[in-house]
Amino acid sequence: MMFTRTQVMRGPGQKASWGTTLLLGLFLVVGTTAWLTLVFSSHRSPCIADTHMNPAPPTNFWSPYKSLLNEATASGAPYILPSDPKNRLAINQIVFGIAGAAELWDRRKEFVKLWWRREEMRGFVWLEQAAKVPAGENLPPVHVSEDTSTFTYTHPLGNPSGIRLSRIVCEAFRLRLPGVKWFVMGDDDTLFNTANLVRVLSKYDASEMWYIGSNSESHRQNDCFSHNMAYGGGGFAISYPLAEALTAMQDQCLERYPSLVGSDDRLHACITELGVPLTKEPGFHQFDIFGNAHGLLASHPLTPFISIHHLELLDPVFPNMSALDGLKLLTKAMHTDPGSFLQQSIAYDHKRSLSFSISTGYVVQVFPEIILPRLLTRVETTFTAWNKGNSSLEFAFDTRPPAKSICKKPYLFYLAEMYHDPVTSRVVTLYKRLHSVDEEKTRNFCWFKGFPPSQVQSIRVKSEPVSNKFFMLPRRQCAKLLETRNHVLDIEVVTCGQRELISD
């Protein structure tokens, strides 16, 4: 019936194309069959492992590794290859190159004093002209950089000093100091955790060419310069063989890049010509941010802290303290327990719906709701990016916005003191409550939700220092709430059990 209607509607003089009709019908049948096969196929999604495509290894496959597997099973932990003894590193096998400017040195030397130990360390501050270092001060000696005025520099907005600073590694290499394995660069407003630096570099064979550092926190900076470049303010490490190769070619290389902006990109360009990639260690922090660094310090990534930069551009890290005094207190905590410094631990009081976030040596935050680890480990944007924006798209890490309601904001307990307990071999840290937060909550009629100031004035954390394994295979420690006595809440931070959850 339908076919007859179609014939009638063609009108006179038209003929049905039987070949076309049959061909279209064939395509329809084949296409429908293929679609049904795809929909009802028993094959799994490509995102799910398919045992048919990955058959089990032959039964004798693991025989050569039997002793390792037995050791792993006996210890209850996965087997980790021991570090090579030849990679063992002492602080005096590192030569530090601190980039500075003479006009800023008198002020910025206070930052260097925070971490420098002149009896143990080797290195120099490199300036464009001589500057006095008073005898007896805890500072490295000053070296005057070589004249770089003959090099070509064409960038319209940059500063030719970038050429001078890019040559610091090579000038330090030409001093031919004995027993050197690494050259570490930083700025005069960089704070280094040298204990962690040594432990991190000990993972690498210094007889090979290594270029180790990290990116900027700012997407814009990484887009403008490179995602594969170490940022010098955050610090980076160059092994002796790479420094040697760089010294042989850098001056000629620099003339090929007159249009680059600064020192980091010039150095990166020449290292790229040597075929050496950047090995990223996220504990180096460029800190391309402005304002309140609380969010980054309270949610440090799960990696050993090595450095921070741009200390003059940050707000004081502790309330009611000057910027320098706050940094002195923070550095004291860093020296007390360098491995655990700024590592975040999480605990919960499910009965009172409270979430505890502990940043070792800095702050304990108590949130008046349950916030699961996936969100709580994100960085709260208490600061702005290098271009003064604070959208999540500006940053090269996971972020979360600050709570809009004061009632949702955390109670804050800031570092007061920190020390080693020789009896328990634990680190004891006391954090004291910031009452200005409580006062603001009171003014806004917030309910203290089982955590009023009358009950808890301080939090005492007794923590187990991280082991060497943390530097090879990081895992967050577990925190447990203990009892409250005399307005002090005790919290224990220890290594998690094999299947222990931090969300319990």
Residues 99 and 223 in one domain: yes
Residue 5: band (very low, low, confident or very high) from pLDDT cuts 50, 70, 90: very low
- Whether 90 is covered by a domain: the verdict is yes
Residues 229 and 90 in one domain: yes
CATH of the domain at 419: 2.70.130.10
Interval 84-124: pLDDT, tens: 665 689 999 999 999 999 999 999 999 999 999 999 999 99
- Whether 31 is covered by a domain: the verdict is no
Looking at 265, 280, 295, the residue that finishes a domain is: 280
Looking at 240, 259, 280, the residue that finishes a domain is: 280
pLDDT over 80 at 492, yes or no:
yes
According to the model, what pLDDT value does residue 21 have? 59
SS3 132: coil
- Whether 420 is covered by a domain: the verdict is yes
pLDDT over 60 at 63, yes or no:
no
> Regarding predicted confidence, which is higher, 329 or 56?
329
Q: What integer is the mean pLDDT of 15-42?
A: 53
According to the model, what pLDDT value does residue 71 have? 37
Q: Are strands 182-187 and 94-99 parallel, antiparallel or unpaired?
A: parallel
- Whether 290 is covered by a domain: the verdict is no
Interval 129-152: pLDDT, tens: 999 878 889 999 999 999 999 999
SS3 417: strand
Number of domains in the chain: 2
Q: What integer is the mean pLDDT of 371-396?
A: 90
Residues 346 and 210 in one domain: no
- 272 touches 229 (CB < 8 A): no
Nearest to 105 by CA among 131, 128, 138: 131
Residues 343 and 276 in one domain: no
Residues 269 and 357 in one domain: no
Residue 315: band (very low, low, confident or very high) from pLDDT cuts 50, 70, 90: very high
Identify the domain containing residue 106 by its residue range: 85-280
Window from 253-262, 295-304, 315-324, 383-392 with minimum mean pLDDT: 383-392
CA 443 to CA 319: how far, in whole Å? 20
End-to-end CA distance of the chain: 71
- 109 touches 134 (CB < 8 A): no
CA 442 to CA 429: how far, in whole Å? 28
According to the model, what pLDDT value does residue 262 have? 93
- Whether 109 is covered by a domain: the verdict is yes
According to the model, what pLDDT value does residue 27 have? 60
List Cβ neighbours of 176 (8 Å cut-off, separation of 6 or more): none
Q: What integer is the mean pLDDT of 295-310?
A: 97
pLDDT over 70 at 490, yes or no:
yes
Interval 399-448: pLDDT, tens: 999 999 999 999 999 999 999 999 999 999 999 999 999 999 999 999 87
According to the model, what pLDDT value does residue 156 have? 93
According to the model, what pLDDT value does residue 20 have? 58
CA 43 to chain centre: 40
pLDDT over 60 at 9, yes or no:
no
Residue 353: band (very low, low, confident or very high) from pLDDT cuts 50, 70, 90: very high
> What percent of the chain stands above pLDDT 70?
83
Residues 376 and 263 in one domain: no
pTM for the predicted model, two decimal places: 0.82
pLDDT over 60 at 48, yes or no:
no
Residues 369 and 268 in one domain: no
Other CB atoms closer than 10 Å to residue 176's CB: what's the count? Answer: 7
Residues 246 and 377 in one domain: no
pLDDT over 80 at 201, yes or no:
yes
Range from 241-245, 310-314, 401-405, 438-442 that averages highest in pLDDT: 241-245
CA 122 to chain centre: 26
Residue 57: band (very low, low, confident or very high) from pLDDT cuts 50, 70, 90: very low
- Whether 376 is covered by a domain: the verdict is yes
pLDDT over 60 at 381, yes or no:
yes
CA 494 to CA 478: how far, in whole Å? 6
pLDDT over 90 at 250, yes or no:
yes
CA 494 to CA 482: how far, in whole Å? 13
CATH of the domain at 116: 3.90.550.50
- Whether 428 is covered by a domain: the verdict is yes
Residues 111 and 255 in one domain: yes
Residues 483 and 407 in one domain: yes
> Regarding predicted confidence, which is higher, 197 or 387?
197
Residues 398 and 477 in one domain: yes
Q: Which helix (H) or strand (E) holds 26?
A: helix 18-40
Handedness of CA 228, 188, 101, 107 (dihedral sign): positive
Residue at 262: amino acid letter? G
Q: What integer is the mean pLDDT of 248-276?
A: 97
- Whether 294 is covered by a domain: the verdict is no
Helix boundaries (H) for 219-286: 219-224, 240-254, 263-273
Tokens representing residue 222 in the block: 């990484």
Q: What integer is the mean pLDDT of 189-209?
A: 97
Residue 24: band (very low, low, confident or very high) from pLDDT cuts 50, 70, 90: low
CA 85 to CA 333: how far, in whole Å? 30
Residues 238 and 144 in one domain: yes
What does pLDDT average to over the chain?
A: 86
According to the model, what pLDDT value does residue 392 have? 84
Looking at 230, 260, 280, the residue that finishes a domain is: 280
Nearest to 504 by CA among 484, 483, 476: 476
